[in-house]
Amino acid sequence: MSLHDLTIHELGARLKKREISSVELTEAVFARIAATEERVGSYVTLSHDGALEEARRADARLKAEGDSAPLLGIPIALKDIFITKGIRTTCCSKILDNFVPPYDGTAVAKLKAAGAVIVGKTNMDEFAMGSSTENSAFGLTRNPWNVLRVPGGSSGGSAAAVAADQCIAALGTDTGGSIRQPAACCGVVGLKPTYGRVSRFGVIAFASSLDQVGPMTKDTIDCALLLEAIAGHDPADSTSVPTATQPYSSFLNGDIKGVKVGLPKEYFIAGMQPEVETSVTAAVRKLAELGAELVEVSLPRTEYAVAVYYIIATAEASSNLARYDGMKYGYRAPAKDLIETYLKTRHEGFGPEVKRRIMLGTYALSAGYYDAYYLKAQKVRALIKRDFDRAFESCDVIVTPTTPTTAFKIGEKTDDPLQMYLSDIFTISVNLAGLPGLSLPCGFDNAGMPIGLQIIGKHFDEAAMLKVANAYEQATEWHKKKPKL
């Protein structure tokens, strides 16, 4: 097995014993990228020289200190939504083309402090608006399991890079499913922490009350280790919650006897791809075999989640993206006066999906419509959260499919935005309620595409969620399967 195939914890043990060096590992990852990137298209920017310099520093730390920090010397990729000092950060939009930030965001700074090696920036839907990574201004990312299919989105580049072994792990962001849905499509583990668990400082904003940073990894142990590194209170982020983090990896003992697993009837719906329902049902049976207690729960307002999300998220996007006007940074269209500069810059700089959402959000916030749309959506959001609160009175975690189907073909839904939006029907409620959610592999469909199992936890109880996920993972082999590239 090649170095790039291994996990964080496997490589960490080898680095600690000095069996390999971080430079050797980083070069192996770049060789893998060179061999597969033409077919996958995971990256928009590579940081070859910077990564090797960080690897050399990691090797020096290992030699001088015998340091055994879990991420020390590990090559990690970042979704191109993270502000990175000296590395181009575009959010895959023409309006930020060639923008190079002067500082690191908090999550990036924490990774660097832990000794991680930043390989590069991965492709994504422009401003994180999409479910297929087809909305990028810089081209398609393809699913490593079938290059004619999408990798999911908006963190599709990160998911594809992890699945294709083009990095050891990656960070993504999740506003309505943008970590979990591509993780399911690409057969990797993706975790959206509780809202406020990980700092959003230095993350380009889409919808500020929904966005959250999280890990995308090859297994649940790596997911726990990466979450440990990035979680924690940050005074620079007013939405960061001053709640103690936990050593998440220490909870992964495989024992889930007596854990109550809630099954919401609203998530097993007509129209779901049959293989998805079969695989998730089999996964639930496996959890029961491992000692979990199955409990039926109800989340009755689930049917309103997509509509609520696309009012709140677009309204916040309309406000957040007002800053891109060609004045301070990014793209500026040539024009004869200030107003024309604004108009032409935003017309030429934003892609079609971003414009659609800005217009929807501006309409929802406009005079005469605010109460009818935005205010009502916030009230229904509170009801959705209340549904989860009641459900968690009788269970410890909730288990659902991550997506209603496996990855669809490239171009299949680009002309039908509503069908595209419904790709996130099982993930959106979790963001609206601010809960943690995780997707991990639980099978394959008849076409050989991965299927994801979603585990939802109580607020700030990522530990229970990871514990259940790891127990299932230990009892199955799905996470060990690799695409043939």
Is the N-terminal amide bond of 154 cis, ω within 30° of 0? yes
429 is catalytic: no
- 344 tagged catalytic: no
Catalytic residue among 178, 240, 249, 423: 178
The catalytically annotated residue of 21, 79, 249, 318 is 79
Encoded tokens for 50 = 């910077």
**Among 132, 154, 155, 249, the one annotated catalytic:** 154
Q: CA-CA distance, 306 to 85, in Å (whole number)?
A: 36
Known catalytic membership, residue 79: yes
Catalytic residue positions?
A: 79, 154, 178
